Structure 1
Amino acid sequence: MVALDWSEVPKTPLVVDGVTLEYSCFGPPPQQAPTIVMLHEGLGCAALWRDFPARVAARTGMGVLVYSRQGYGQSDPAKLPRPLDFMTREAVDVLPHVLDQAGIARCILFGHSDGATIAAIYAGSVEDFRVRGLILMAPHFFTEEMGLKEIAKAREVFARTDMKERMAKYHKDPENAFRGWNDTWLDPGFKAWNVGEVIDYLRIPVLAIQGRDDQYGTLAQIEEIESRSYAPVDTVILEDCKHAPHQEQSEQTLDAVAEFTARLERIEAAEVVPS
């Protein structure tokens, strides 16, 4: 297995099951510090995190790994249509190989939207002691009518505006990226999608972040974590904020992330028994 090139513009590819995935790394490598693995939203990619990963690395002192899932950014296109359990497959079949290739020793999974769901599914489905905490930003555990209506609006915007051309600045195949997300969420069979049971199996601390005005999900998504998790849950609800807290309320989001990661490190230090 080829180790990753720990740099912002890596030269070594990340290949999982023959699929090449775009990635970037910030801050110290895994052998020097814990790693925050950032999982993007449904139309995101590594580049669309913009400067936030570098700011997270600088603020926390941890390494940060971001990558574009298949079908996004400069990664290989996805086979369409995506299966309705695509987030579970991403969590169980792809994410562990990414962690292995990165040489992760200790990490925090930090997901946004679909990426947050993937992070939660992984932590609730796979016993991986490398994962010490979860940061779930605007997660989805079940569908909501208001969110599906917004996704339907996005389909109209994609068809009638220059959205495809704008997406092409970041995605090698914008049609593949959009259809892989939009067509799946709007599939009639997806209305019954619900992965809330993974929360029951979480045994690591969770930071849940959501904008009060999130147009894709209500606070019921956060309440699901609070009511079902046996592990500690910290909740941050941001005012004047929709679906992208790291962009719309970046300083408050960064403060919450830094406080959470620092507390995890204090807990880790306290649990180390002197020899």
Structure 2
Amino acid sequence: MQNPVTTALASNFAELPATASHGPLRIEYRWVNEAAGNAPIAVFLHEGLGSIAMWRDWPLALCERLGMRGLVYSRPGYGLSTPRAHHVKWPVDFMTAQARDILPALFDALDINMQERKRMWIIGHSDGGSITLLYAALHPDELAGAVAIAPHVFVEDISVESIAQTKQLYETTDLRSKLSRYHADVDSAFYGWNDIWLNPSFREWRIVGELAAIKQPLLAVQGNDDNYGTMAQIDTIGERVPHAQLVKLDACGHSPHRDAPDALNEAIAAFISRQG
């Protein structure tokens, strides 16, 4: 079987200039379903240990269902994008920085103009779901809408406990070897995510207050068997964003695009269709 990271070498790379919040970055990205031509763009934001390769073929399948073009990319520290230097720790507000600085810079580098951004949908999973919410809150005049899948809006005990267990598995089983197929620097990817989530300072992280600024159509999805968060996450979204639609999937864990792809795709397609 071909190594997914090797396969991802066919990806393109965008060069982002240094700013006050980060140095120069090389971002791995790929377009999917380009045959859709001038159709709206769906942007996919991966989970805390994700990358282009870890999405597999789900973004393409969903874009074909929606009739959209898809933009998939690996955030800094993941996949083939610029690795996190091993001595660097992600700050508590690292997801805000992604929404405020990195994602707009990527759109600029790819010449995605404001007209295209206003037609765009952002679809994020887990940490990517939180970044999706933050982007929608920070850019209320952009986007056609957003889909947050298993997002975090505050830190729960279940999240910290599961992430601590994942660290033990990474250091004592073949999990590190398995993840190395998806990241050029697997330790950079893993510990960047794991260290910040297990940092005692991160227990106070929350983006509940930012949610009220979201004006665009919003779909929030979570599995009933999610071991990284309870339904309190999307229920809180529903309280703070009254126009949001919530979907709770049975027999589904933290990764609906893997655990229940048909149900997830149907929920997203139906929601976007209702927005016209």
TM-score after normalising by structure 1 = 0.89
Q: Distance in 1 between matches of 2:131 and 2:63?
A: 22
1:45 to 37, 46, 51: 51
Hey, what's the Cα distance between the residues in 2 that align with 1:117 and 1:258? 21
Percent of paired sites with the same residue: 38
Which runs of no fewer than 5 residues in structure 2 stay unpaired? 1-7, 18-23
Aligned equivalents of 1:12 and 1:67: distance in 2? Answer: 9
Pairing of 1:101-112 with structure 2 (within 5 A) = 101-102=109-110, 103-104=112-113, 105=116, 106-112=119-125
Q: Which residue of 1 aligns with 2:264?
A: 253
For 2:248, the aligned partner's letter is I
Match of 2:184 among 172, 177, 185: 172
Distance 1:83 1:30 in 2: 38
Task: Select which of 226, 245, 253 maps to 1:242.
Answer: 253
Distance change (3 Å), C-alpha of 1:211 and 1:182:
same
Distance 1:89 1:149 in 2: 25
Which runs of structure 2 are paired with 1:105-120 in the superposition (5 Å)? 105=116, 106-120=119-133
CA displacement at 1:194 relative to structure 2: 0.7
Residue deviations 1:139-191 (CA, integer Å, cap 9, x gap): 00000001100000011011101211111111000000000000000001011
* Residue matched to 2:4: none
Say if 2:270 is the partner of 1:262: no
Please give the alpha-carbon distance, in whole angstroms, between the structure 1 residues aligned to 2:141 and 2:35: 19
Q: In 2, distance between residues paired with 1:88 and 1:134?
A: 16
1:198 corresponds in structure 2 to 210
Residue of structure 1 in register with 2:99 after alignment: 91
Distance 1:166 1:69, change over 3 A: same
Return the match for 1:56 from 35, 44, 62: 62
1:15 aligns with 2:15: yes
Give the whole-Å Cα distance in 2 for the aligned partners of 1:95 and 1:203.
Answer: 19
Structure 2 match to 1:65: 71
User: Per-residue deviation at 1:261?
Assistant: 1.9
Q: Deviations over 1:96-147 (max 9, x none)?
A: 1122233250201100000010010111123442x11010000000000011
In structure 2, distance between residues paired with 1:118 and 1:217: 16
- 5+ long unaligned stretches in structure 1: 1-7, 267-275
**3-state SS in 2 of match to 1:157:** helix
Q: Who is 1:35 aligned against?
A: 41
Letter in 1 for 2:52: A
Give the aligned CA root-mean-square deviation in angstroms: 1.7
SS state at 1:22 partner: strand
140-149 or 99-108, larger mean C-alpha shift = 99-108
User: Which residue, out of 116, 123, 136, partners 2:136?
Assistant: 123
Q: Contact 1:9–1:24 (CA<8 Å) still a contact in 2?
A: no
- Report the counterpart of residue 158 of structure 2 in structure 1: 146
Q: Report SS of the residue matched to 1:13.
A: strand
Instruction: Pick from 225, 229, 232 the counterpart of residue 213 of structure 1.
Output: 225
> Quick one: distance in 2 between partners of 1:74 and 1:11?
9
Aligned pairs, number: 256
* Contact 2:37–2:69 (8 Å) recurs in 1: no
**Mean Cα displacement is larger for which, 240-249 or 104-113?**
104-113
Q: Mean alpha-carbon deviation: is it higher for 191-200 or for 136-145?
A: 191-200
